[in-house]
Amino acid sequence: MATAEEKITEMGLEIPPSPKRMGVYVPAVTSGNFMYTAGQLPMADGKLTAVGKVPTDVPVEDAQLAARQALLNVLSVARAELASLDKTVRIIRLNVFVNSAPGFTGQAKVANAASELLLAIFGEAGRHTRCAVGVAGLPLNSPVEIDMIAEVS
């Protein structure tokens, strides 16, 4: 069975370098057997992959791609904290915040893109609890922000 790091390679995914912090916090903290990441935006090459509210400014399909990119950034800070994603025992929780236009109720559909990617990488150890929450705004007018809690060895 392939490890998480091997699956990432097999899938042709690239975990980007850890994004630069935008405030006074640390990207990830390990306490005991749990690692907590700070919220990550869908940044690539130093800029957001999409901007605005879902679905008025950002179509749901683009928000799903943004959720995948935000998750890759979560995995980037996790890898920096752990040295290898293979130290992940189980993904415990994913919190997905969606910059939602009034009346939008499809947050779970946006969050599914990140959840499905975790399952593809970690298998059953990637099955997690989740919150998919609509919010009035996010930093830099990002369409999505994601943080994660994982059990680690």
- Determine the structural domain holding residue 100 and report its residue range: 35-41+50-152
Q: Does 23 map to a domain?
A: no
Show the tokens assigned to 142.
């990002």
Q: Does 54 map to a domain?
A: yes
Q: Does 96 map to a domain?
A: yes
Q: Is the pLDDT of residue 64 over 90?
A: yes
Q: Does 62 map to a domain?
A: yes
* In the chain, alpha helices (H): 4-10, 60-82, 107-122
Q: Cα separations (Å) of 152 from 32, 34, 134, 149? A: 9, 6, 29, 10
Instruction: Find the CATH number of the domain harbouring 82.
Output: 3.30.1330.40
Q: Is the pLDDT of residue 18 over 90?
A: no
Q: Does 88 map to a domain?
A: yes
How many domains does the chain fold into?
1
> 81, 72, 85, 89: which is closest to 124 by C-alpha?
89
Q: pLDDT for 72-113, tens place per residue?
A: 999 999 999 999 999 999 999 999 999 999 999 999 999 999
